[in-house]
């Protein structure tokens, strides 16, 4: 992935991301991205992209089986959601610390009509990621939960967009020292104007359309633009809370989700807040889930 592409995913775009992760990204990658070092473009994921028609789901291996699908333990499928969440990309898990919404949807599509899969574990360890694609992905996981028993197992974090996806499961199990929540939205803007002035550089912005360069990094953010962007972020936060409330029913209302003010909750505190349903050890959930499925057969 090139630095310009990283920049488009980091700055001037709404993110459902835990604020601590945002700070780390800004500190660790910001100087590199804005310092303009060159990097080769990784085009490995350029094929099989596109949500319409689920192109990834059409890829077959030499035996004719789906290439992109969850791993299985007998009649239980496990969809892994780890690292930073991004909208599109061929690599569906752990590649460069990323999981794509596109890949998660493809895995859900692979099992939703598969009668040999009796239940699905959604394993989540993510501080969140992009807003783009997150709600569509969450809705597909929720549709899966209407068809088959699902349980989200946190190992150990489900924050912001990671929590949105976890909330689509029928139940959420959190470790004793795991964290969940961060029902909010964040965006980053870089003002380079003082640095440019110090370096003796002046950037002339040529634009057609009054709002065309509103979020450019070469001048301070005007108050009216700031107010508009904050209003947009708040609208997304409300949609986030509404969606989680619909998924979780009477366990977490919209008002209760908003009242968290994007806070995170650890272990039992998450259960008491309605963010999760039980505290448990992730390594024991698979066997317990299979046993429960056996009893309900």
Q: What is the mean pLDDT of residues 57-86?
A: 80
Tell me the CATH number for domain 3-296. 3.90.226.10
Measured in degrees and rounded to the nearest 5, phi and psi for residue 98 equal -125, 150
**Cα separation of 165 and 157, whole Å?**
12
Using a CB cutoff of 8 Å and minimum separation of 24, what contacts does 153-156 make?
A: 153/121, 153/122, 153/123, 153/124, 153/280, 153/282, 153/285, 154/124, 154/125, 154/178, 154/180, 154/276, 154/282, 155/123, 155/124, 155/125, 155/282, 156/125, 156/282
How sure is the predictor about 37, in pLDDT bands with cuts at 50, 70 and 90?
Answer: very low
What's residue 42's pLDDT?
37
Tell me the whole-structure pTM to 2 decimals: 0.82
Neighbours of 141 (CB within 10 A): 27
Residue 291 has pLDDT above 50, yes or no: yes
What's residue 146's pLDDT?
98
Q: What is the mean pLDDT of residues 265-290?
A: 95
What's residue 16's pLDDT?
73
Domain map (residue ranges) of the chain = 3-296
The pLDDT tens digits for 7-35 are: 666 666 777 766 655 655 555 555 555 55
What's residue 44's pLDDT?
36
The pLDDT tens digits for 139-196 are: 999 999 999 999 999 999 999 999 999 999 999 999 999 999 999 999 999 999 999 9
What's residue 91's pLDDT?
56
How sure is the predictor about 40, in pLDDT bands with cuts at 50, 70 and 90?
Answer: very low
What's residue 36's pLDDT?
41
- 96 CB-near residues (< 8 Å, 6+ apart): 1, 83
**Cα separation of 6 and 26, whole Å?**
11
Residue 45 has pLDDT above 60, yes or no: no
What's residue 13's pLDDT?
76
The pLDDT tens digits for 63-76 are: 666 657 788 889 99
What's residue 61's pLDDT?
65
What's residue 47's pLDDT?
47
What's residue 27's pLDDT?
52
Q: Residue with structure tokens 């319409």? A: 52
What's residue 56's pLDDT?
65
Q: Please give the structure tokens belonging to residue 292.
A: 């429960």
């Amino acid at each position: 992935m090139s630095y310009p592409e990283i920049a488009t995913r980091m700055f001037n775009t709404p993110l459902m991301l835990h604020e601590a992760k945002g700070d780390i990204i800004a500190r660790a990658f910001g100087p590199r991205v804005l310092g303009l070092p060159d990097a080769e473009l990784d085009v490995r994921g350029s094929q099989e992209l596109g949500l319409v028609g689920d192109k990834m789901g059409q890829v077959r291996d030499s035996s004719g089986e789906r290439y992109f699908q969850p791993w299985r333990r007998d009649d239980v499928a496990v969809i892994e959601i780890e690292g930073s969440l991004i909208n599109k990309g061929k690599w569906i898990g752990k590649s460069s610390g990323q999981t794509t919404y596109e890949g998660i949807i493809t895995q859900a599509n692979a099992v939703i009509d598969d009668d040999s899969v009796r239940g699905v574990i959604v394993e989540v360890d993510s501080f969140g990621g992009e807003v783009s694609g997150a709600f569509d992905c969450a809705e597909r996981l929720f549709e899966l939960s209407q068809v088959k028993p699902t349980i989200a197992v946190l190992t150990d974090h489900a924050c912001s967009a990671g929590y949105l996806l976890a909330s689509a499961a029928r139940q959420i199990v959190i470790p004793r020292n795991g964290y969940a929540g961060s029902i909010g939205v964040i965006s980053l803007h870089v003002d380079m104007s003082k640095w440019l002035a110090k370096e003796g550089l002046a950037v002339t912005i040529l634009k057609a359309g009054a709002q065309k360069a509103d979020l450019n990094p070469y001048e301070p953010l005007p108050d009216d633009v700031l107010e508009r962007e904050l209003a947009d972020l708040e609208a997304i936060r409300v949609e986030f809370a509404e969606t989680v409330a619909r998924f979780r029913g009477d366990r977490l209302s919209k008002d209760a989700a908003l009242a968290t003010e994007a806070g995170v909750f650890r272990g039992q505190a998450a259960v008491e807040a309605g963010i999760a349903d039980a505290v448990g050890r992730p390594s024991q959930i698979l066997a317990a889930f299979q046993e429960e499925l056996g009893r309900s057969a």
